[in-house]
Amino acid sequence: MSSQSATETKGTAEKSASQFDAIIVGAGVGGLYALHRLRGMGLNVGVFEAGADVGGTWYWNRYPGCRCDVESMEYSYSFSEDLQQEWRWPERYGTQPEILRYVNHVADRFDLRRDIRFNTRVLSGQFDETSNLWTLVTDKHGAVSAPYCIMATGNLSTPRVPDFAGLERFEGKWYHTGLWPHEGVDFSGLRVGIIGTGSSGVQSIPIIAKQAKHLHVFQRTANFSLPARNAPLDAGVEKRHKAEYAERREAAYDTPFGIAGFPPPTNSALEVSAEEREAAYEAKWAEGGSISFLYAYNDLLVNKAANDTASEFVRNKIRATVNDPAIAELLAPKDHPIGTKRLILDSDYYETYNRDNVTLVDARAAPIEEITPAGIRTRDAEYDFDAIVFATGFDAMTGALLDIDLTGAKGVKLADKWADGPRSNLGLMMAGFPNMFLITGPQSPSVKAQMILACEQHTDWIVDCLTYLQTHGLARIEADQTAEDEWVTHNNEVADGTLYPLANSWYMGANIPGKPRIFMPYVGGFDRYKRTCDEIAAKGYEGFTLTPTRLEALAGD
Ligand code: NAP
């Protein structure tokens, strides 16, 4: 390919350790599959990973209670029938250790580690138009280059500790859920404060509460959470699922979330009686799972009045679970429609507030003002802690890419291009950044789909694209500005047709002070999105400019 063709490099035992046909940044579930596929094309691939091992999200997020909110029979790779038949998930929802074990198994089974440089952070990247090469500067392996660069840097991979004054003076220990110590943390007998009640907080709070002497939960915004109803994986369910795995995976591509088995609802929540609605929500509540609940009716995410019925149902469940009515009211979300922030799945979250050793602190009424040497000071009170847990989330979807100082063609900086929010064509490529591909970038379904399938779909599109370039004697592909603008407009229009923008969510960039407010994931449906990607490819990559070499492109300018 280009200056180093795939056929030239195939089988070359000793290549320069700094020159590749393709570089992949990140060895999480996306990067690993990309490595497997690109290697299958015969390319010499270099993967650079900041962590000491594979797994990405599942490598870093080791906090107590960490578990996937997509069922384990779904949250796994589909590319190998043997792999999906042989792997056995013990529970309905995979725990972090189980999923990490699975990812390690995949890395070993497909012999992926030998191309991965661990403990290596990519600091910057620059595209050279003359040589048509991306050069990335790493902190451990110097500069490395390749004609193609695949950014598998993850959507929730830049942990964020809010800018509280005084943290450096705290005399106890503090942790971020997304950077959890590998050896684990024993909170037994400790006074613990936890800040944040998103998915990470809600999953860890019940476990930490069981260990700690006392746990104070600092909640700024109440979130909706449903019972996960986790349980050992039923042998019959596993058998049936495995018997039809291939068909289910195929069918998953024709669903809005990338998960088969949830027939699309046909009724509005407003066209049935209150009793019928209540019974439907009750059944979904008993079943567990977020897609199932939000699929109770067809308008829960697009019609506020319809959504109000589901939101109120869950608020009433909270009121019925939590003994103290004042605490229940504080836990009952009222500032956003259910589902417009990531709908959380929990095990005994609301029940935890009935424990004597758990106190809910309203960090909205009395915001945290500083971290003191002894603990946390809010506007109204001081709290002493031995340990503080930050379950305060991530600089989502853009943070990891913007942490790398990326410069595309004509000196354009990603930080400037994205100053008013991310812009991409299909979440796959960006105008001004030739030959750089994103795995589940902003404006793709990514976090609104089954992430592993989303990673596979992106990688498959990229592999088809590179194969097309190869067979047509092309060396360079770049998103057209007009096509990118149209896609961003479409992304925003689709989001504006839903209730999602009503929430101050990380989908909107609203969790980071100063971050531009733009709805980042594509919510037009994974099925519709995939069809669009396939159509664009079938039309010879409509909306992208493909050129044999940079020099020929310039001659045509
Ligand atoms: P998050 O949803 O962004 O939650 C962060 C929490 O920290 C929020 O409650 C936020 O309050 C609070 N916070 C931030 N700054 C604060 C401040 N200065 N003072 C007080 N509170 C503050 O982050 P997350 O829980 O880590 O979850 C992020 C995403 O990761 C999830 O939505 C999900 O997609 C994924 N995840 C998935 C799973 C799973 O599969 N089960 C588990 C964990 C995470 P505000 O809401 O007021 O900003």
Ligand 1 atom closest to Cα of residue 177: 26
Atom of ligand 1 nearest to the CA of 200: 25
Domain match, 366 and 434 both: no
Write the pLDDT tens digit of every residue in 425-476.
999 999 999 999 999 999 999 999 999 999 999 999 999 999 999 999 999 9
391 CA distance to ligand 1 centroid (A)?
Answer: 6
* 320 and 188 housed in the same domain: yes
Burial class (CB in 10 A: 0-12, 13-18, 19+), 490: middle
CA of 202 to the centre of ligand 1 (A): 9
Indicate which atom in ligand 1 lies nearest the CA of residue 67. Answer: 41
Helix axes of 526-538 and 451-471: crossing angle, nearest 10 degrees: 0
- One-letter amino acid at 384 equals D
Average pLDDT of the residues in 266-293: 96
Among 175, 378, 511, 523, say which to mutate for ligand 1: greatest number of ligand atoms within 8 Å of CB: 511
Say if residue 370's pLDDT is above 90: yes
Which whole number is the average pLDDT over 207-213?
98
Q: Which of 375, 390, 405 is the last residue of a domain?
A: 390
Q: Give the structural domain span for 247.
A: 167-390
Supply the residue whose CA is at minimum distance from atom 10 of ligand 1.
196
pLDDT for res 16: 63
* CB 433 within 8 Å of CB 531: no
In angstroms, what is the span from residue 364 Cα to ligand 1's centroid?
15
Asked if pLDDT for residue 189 goes beyond 50, the answer is: yes
Closest residue by CA, ligand 1 atom 12: 196
Q: What is the mean pLDDT of residues 132-148?
A: 97
Same domain, 349 and 406: no
- Other CB atoms within a 10 A radius of the CB of residue 504 amount to 16
- CB contact burial 281-294 (16+ within 10 A = b; e otherwise): beebbeebbbbebb
pLDDT of 249 reads: 96
Q: How confident is the model at residue 17 (pLDDT cuts 50, 70, 90)?
A: confident
* 3-class DSSP assignment, residue 20: coil
Using the atom order of ligand 1, give the atom closest to the CA of residue 342.
32
Give the percent of the chain with pLDDT over 70: 96
Q: For residue 26, what pLDDT is reported?
A: 98
- 242 contacts 86 by C-beta, under 8 angstroms: no
> From ligand 1's centre to the CA of 467, what distance in Å?
40
* Residue 1 predicted with pLDDT over 50: no
pLDDT confidence bin for 6, thresholds 50/70/90: very low
- The residues near 386 (Cβ < 8 Å, ≥ 6 apart) are 172, 173, 190, 191, 192
Cα separation, 498 vs 477, whole angstroms: 33
Are 305 and 348 in a shared domain?
yes
CA of 425 to the centre of ligand 1 (A): 28
Q: How far is the CA of 177 from the centre of ligand 1 (A)?
A: 10
Q: Which residue lies with its CA nearest to atom 31 of ligand 1?
A: 199
Evaluated on CA atoms 186, 188, 191, 195, the torsion sign reads: positive
Q: Are residues 499 and 372 in the same domain?
A: no
Verify that 216 and 314 share a domain, yes or no.
yes
For the cut 80, the answer to whether the pLDDT of residue 3 exceeds it is: no
Q: Is the pLDDT at 11 greater than 80, yes or no?
A: no
Which H, E and C letters describe 297-360, residue by residue?
Answer: CCCCCCCHHHHHHHHHHHHHHHHHHCCCHHHHHHHCCCCCCCCCCCCEEECCCHHHHHCCCEEE
Question: Ligand 1: distance of its center to the CA of 201 in Å?
Answer: 7
Ligand 1 site-directed mutation target among 92, 216, 220, 504, most atoms within 8 Å of CB: 220
Q: Are 425 and 487 in contact (CB under 8 A)?
A: yes
Residue type, 239: K
Which single residue is written with the structure tokens 């451990």?
140
Least confident of 14-18, 131-135, 170-174, 406-410: 14-18
- Mean pLDDT in residue range 356-363: 98
**Judgement on whether residues 333 and 424 belong to the same structural domain of the protein:** no
Q: What is the pLDDT of residues 214-264, one digit of tens each?
A: 999 999 999 999 999 999 999 999 999 999 999 999 999 999 999 999 999
- My answer on whether 149 and 269 are in the same domain is no
Using CA positions, which residue lies closest to atom 23 of ligand 1? 393
Is the pLDDT reported for residue 4 higher than 50?
Answer: no
| 202 and 92 part of one domain | no
* Number of domains within the chain: 2
Show the tokens assigned to 448.
Answer: 């609104």
> Distance between CA 485 and CA 490 in Å, rounded?
9
Q: Determine the distance separating the centroid of ligand 1 and the alpha carbon of 6, expressed in angstroms.
A: 43
* Ligand 1 nearest atom to the CA of residue 392, by list position: 7
Residue 519: CATH number of its domain: 3.50.50.60
* Element holding 209 (H helix, E strand): helix 199-211
Ligand 1, atom 15, lies closest to the CA of 392
Closest of 401, 396, 394 to residue 152, by C-alpha: 401
Indicate the average pLDDT of the chain.
95
Is 179 in the same domain as 268? yes
Q: Tell me: do 308 and 264 sit in the same domain.
A: yes
Asked if 222 and 100 sit in the same domain, the reply is: no
pLDDT on residue 531? 98
Ligand 1 atom 6 nearest Cα: 196
Measuring from atom 48 of ligand 1, which residue has the nearest CA?
Answer: 511
31 and 25 Cβ atoms separated by less than 8 Å: yes
- Kindly list the protein residues whose Cβ atom lies closer than 6 A to any atom of ligand 1: 67-69, 156, 162, 177, 195-201, 203, 218, 220-221, 342, 363, 368, 391-394, 447, 506, 511
Q: What is the pLDDT of residues 83-114, one digit of tens each?
A: 999 999 999 999 999 999 999 999 999 999 99
Distance 36 CA to ligand 1 centre (A): 32
Evaluate if residue 192 carries a pLDDT over 70. yes
What is the best residue among 163, 200, 336, 370 to mutate for testing ligand 1's pocket, by most ligand atoms within 8 Å of CB?
200
CA distance linking residue 334 with residue 362, whole number of Å: 14
In this structure, the residue with its CA closest to atom 17 of ligand 1 is 162
Q: How far is CA 333 from CA 80, 152, 185, 501, in A?
A: 42, 34, 30, 16
Please identify, among 347, 366, 390, the residue that sits at the C-terminal boundary of a domain. Answer: 390
Condensed to tens digits (0 to 9), the pLDDT of residues 303-347 reads 999 999 999 999 999 999 999 999 999 999 999 999 999 999 999
Q: Show the tokens assigned to 87.
A: 């792997």
Domain boundary among 358, 390, 422: 390
Residue nearest to atom 8 of ligand 1 (CA): 196
C-alpha torsion sign, points 225, 76, 84, 532: positive
